[in-house]
Structure 1
Amino acid sequence: MTTCNRWPVRHSIALAALLVAAPWAHATNGYFPHGFGLKAKGMGGASIAMAQDGFAGVNNPAAAAFVGNRWDVGAEIFRPYRDAQFVGQTPVVESGKTAFLIPEFGYNVKLSERLALGLTVYGNGGMNTSYAPFPNGVNLLGGQGKLGVDLMQLIVAPTLAYQVAEGHALGISPLLVLQRFEAYGIQGFAMMSQSPGDVSNRGKDSSTGVGVRLGYFGKLGDRVNVGVAYSPKVSMSKFDKYKGLFAGGGDFDIPENFGVGVAVQVTPAVTVALDATRINYGGVPSIANGSLSQVMAGKPLGAADGPGFGWRDVNVVKLGVQWQLNPQWTLRAGYNQGDNPIRAQDAMFNILAPGVIRKHITFGATYAPDKASEWTFALWHGKRENVVGPSVDFMSGAMNPTGTRIGMHQNGFGLQYSRKF
């Protein structure tokens, strides 16, 4: 028991350092992952009404009351394929970074029959693109050299859950957030900024903030679980090095998000889970402000009402099935479908962040060689999506209504080891 309790302290610190150091990207439901923890990822992300691993801090804090004593550590290889072009003017240019290693960690312990404590370390989301320039050194957006961005969001979430009545719990997870961002190759945007020297090629910058996630988990008899999870917008410190790029002088908050879920044990061996979630990208000006519309209206980059990426709110439905084949093997499959946050009129700016994926198919399994340990794997595919919209020559003001095309598809695979104690 003592060894297990000490394990997460030193290893979660090391894991957090690895998360910060590693370049990575998520781009599934907008820039949020389609799920957290490999059991959830194998079920299309459905997890709000499931209590089966140490990732309660991100899925539903109240679920920690029913998880028991365990730790889970895993990593995934995420492979997004992004490309863009100006139709009829340039060839298709593919982003050069197509493989990212993303670790994650969860821990849970019962302090009493009603009270549980947990810790989750995870990447909330991100976006990474890197487009090579043309032979003359000019890139897709008119800048020099490579073109791209690198956004990372790391969250450490301690969790406390309490059973207020038999089978019903409330939970809370403070969210300790670190962001990192870098942009390069968009020097051409400087002429549209209120702070031209703080738009591109400023190196890595970081930002911090504190938020919270709240949850309810209820057992309605022996066969039905329900859950609710909510996280308000997290106000982050500003990216000072990019105050000429992001609206609000470098603001880049984490959007409000929430969801409800139900899990039904339809037979002793089969469970079906369904989540309905929403991510309110529209509440963050640097993400939601219109792009070309604000440029054409004369609004400078970096201003409170300056151009953003034009992302809208998205609704996501996550459906998963879990089959307990035998005491050793559990099989999973899932489907995830969400809205595309990027509208046609904002395609050009989103060459940098083409988070257009709408549909995912997922599979997974857990092998339990004994009562104390588990090996879980999951794999998934995000169906290709394209968005075609206008392009603008900022020097002449000429517009081509179908001049920009962005697209993406993606694959992923992960492996997780879990230990009960």
Structure 2
Amino acid sequence: MHSILIGRLRPAGLALALLLAATSAYATNGYFSHGYGTKAKGRGGASLAIADDTMAGANNPALLADVGNRFDAGFDAFVPRRGAERTGGPLGQFDFSEKSDRNLFIIPDFGVSRKLSQRITAGVTIYGNGGLNTDYQRGNTATCPTSLLSGGRGNPLCGSGPAGVNLEQLVVAPTLAVRINDNHALGVSPLFVYQRFYAQGLQLFGSFGYSSDSSKLTNNGTSGSQGRGYRVGYLGTFGPVNVGLSYSPRIDMSKFKEYSGLFAGGGDFDIPTNKGVGVSWKVTNSLRLAADVNKILFSEVASVGNSRDGATPGCNCLGTENGPGFGWSDVLVRKFGLEYAATQNLTLRAGYNKGNNPVGSEDVTFNILAPGVVTKHYTAGFTYKLSPSAELSAHYMRAPEVSVTGPSALPVPGPVEKIYMNQESLSMSLGFTY
């Protein structure tokens, strides 16, 4: 049995290689996706109490108990449109208006499961996070004196050359689920995480003494980090109603050594605690409703949650133990979805996802690099059975534009900055039972 399972899980190697090659750019509920798996995304991300595919390791590990022998592979074509503006500086010297380049990202995901006994199911889920991503290559009216002197025209933070950051997180989640009885199941997913990051064009922070180590602040190439954690889950069935619980504590990641002068704690960038509760109600044989509430504790990670308030040159500066970060507050996400079996072969989905904006007006400057401010997500999707053992799923998401305006942190009087973002995504996946 062990050798059979290993054989079935070998495609995970291919999926892992594809994910490593892909460039992640999620920025929906903070830098977490609005949902994991095409079916869940079509329901606005609601997924904690519906066992419908092998993305259980990213959602609720206990769901795998009811998935059986299955294989899923898909991708998301994600389009974040983001940018920033600055006005009101002395003589207009620091004014700019620019949109980030690179607005299309292809993000794959993968899952496989196998029933080991009547009550035990094992599998693996591979997925990604991201969203701290910008790429300011050119500007419309940027006239920062620093940029002009260095030839970096268009850099919104007045550094040398293009400005931007990129964060990618890859999670491999082997999962074991146990059905205790007909009504209750438990699951656990060890989480093996690899993340990488780079920053460019942030020299101004070093020039004015806002970094503890300006040589480890910017333009040091891609830095890698590893960590291990876990996710646990519960699934309960009470007549036509399912209840799901999921919890993943903070994951301690190794430091981004090449950016120890940027992130608080000498390059520390842990993954925050995230937890949720969900319900689904099978109203009729054709109609199911679902709702989840998730919370992501960004504030517990200093490099993400600390505000720039109180930051001073040479003291409470970037890279110090409790230095400033992006200033993101915790995000509470409410997800609502429905699915309707229109025919024997066609299931339709729709959903709504609402989270709070983690960025306050006092932290606009740093978040020019990561304007993850969208709050509302409208989704639709479907699954079509191609055969008794194969199906095609798709989903579309639209997140309307949200902007935040606040005073600039640049060391000059007067400027006001605005960041903004809107998003669209289209995903497709194939699922097979065996």
Name the residue aligned to 2:117.
112
Deviations 1:335-366 (A, max 9, x none): 00001000111011100000001000000000
Deviations 1:267-302 (A, max 9, x none): 110000000010000100000111244247941110
For 1:198, give the aligned amino acid.
Answer: K
Name the residue aligned to 1:252.
269
- Which of 230, 233, 255 is the aligned partner of 1:215? 233
More deviation, 374-383/298-307: 298-307
- Secondary structure of the residue aligned to 1:130 is coil
Instruction: Tell me the CA shift for residue 17 of structure 1.
Output: 1.8
* Alignment of 1:408 onto 2:421: yes
Name the residue aligned to 1:43.
43
More deviation, 42-51/89-98: 89-98
- Which of 248, 257, 281 is the aligned partner of 1:240? 257
Name the residue aligned to 1:95.
100
Question: 1:282-321 counterparts in 2 under 5 A?
Answer: 282-295=299-312, 298-321=315-338
What is the root-mean-square deviation in Å for CA atoms of aligned residues? 1.7
Question: 1:195-206 counterparts in 2 under 5 A?
Answer: 195-206=213-224
Deviations 1:51-72 (A, max 9, x none): 0000110110001101111010
- Secondary structure of the residue aligned to 1:306 is coil
Deviations 1:90-138 (A, max 9, x none): 3420000100000000111111111110100000333221012447423
- Secondary structure of the residue aligned to 1:92 is strand
- Secondary structure of the residue aligned to 1:387 is strand
Name the residue aligned to 1:59.
59
- Secondary structure of the residue aligned to 2:311 is helix
Name the residue aligned to 1:82.
82
Q: Distance in 2 between matches of 1:97 and 1:379?
A: 20
For 2:224, give the aligned amino acid.
Answer: S
For 1:262, give the aligned amino acid.
Answer: V
For 2:164, give the aligned amino acid.
Answer: G
* Alignment of 1:177 onto 2:177: no
Verify the 8 A CA contact 1:24 1:127 in the aligned structure 2.
no
Instruction: Tell me the CA shift for residue 7 of structure 1.
Output: 6.1
For 2:367, give the aligned amino acid.
Answer: N
Note closer, same or farther for the CA distance 1:296–1:334 as it changes in structure 2 (3 Å cut). farther
Verify the 8 A CA contact 2:211 2:314 in the aligned structure 1.
no
Q: Distance in 2 between matches of 1:19 and 1:165?
A: 36
Note closer, same or farther for the CA distance 1:13–1:392 as it changes in structure 2 (3 Å cut). same
Q: Distance in 2 between matches of 1:409 and 1:53?
A: 29
- Secondary structure of the residue aligned to 2:109 is strand
Gaps of 5+ in 1: none
Verify the 8 A CA contact 1:126 1:153 in the aligned structure 2.
no
More deviation, 136-145/101-110: 136-145
* Alignment of 1:279 onto 2:296: yes
Structure 1 moving runs of 4+ over 6 Å = 1-4
Deviations 1:241-283 (A, max 9, x none): 0000000000000000000000001111000000001000010
| TM-score between the two structures when normalised by the length of structure 1 | 0.95
Name the residue aligned to 1:69.
69
For 1:413, give the aligned amino acid.
Answer: L
- Which of 202, 226, 249 is the aligned partner of 1:186? 202
Verify the 8 A CA contact 2:128 2:171 in the aligned structure 1.
yes
Q: Distance in 2 between matches of 1:230 and 1:310?
A: 24
- Secondary structure of the residue aligned to 1:109 is strand
Q: Distance in 2 between matches of 1:295 and 1:22?
A: 38
Instruction: Tell me the CA shift for residue 48 of structure 1.
Output: 0.1
More deviation, 127-136/5-14: 5-14
Q: Distance in 2 between matches of 1:399 and 1:4?
A: 67
Q: Distance in 1 between matches of 2:135 and 2:308?
A: 20
Q: Distance in 2 between matches of 1:334 and 1:393?
A: 41
* Alignment of 1:161 onto 2:174: no
- Secondary structure of the residue aligned to 1:236 is coil
* Alignment of 1:420 onto 2:424: no
Q: Distance in 1 between matches of 2:20 and 2:386?
A: 33
Number of corresponding residues? 416
Verify the 8 A CA contact 1:157 1:173 in the aligned structure 2.
yes
Deviations 1:344-389 (A, max 9, x none): 1101110000000100000000000221001000010011100001
Verify the 8 A CA contact 2:211 2:313 in the aligned structure 1.
no
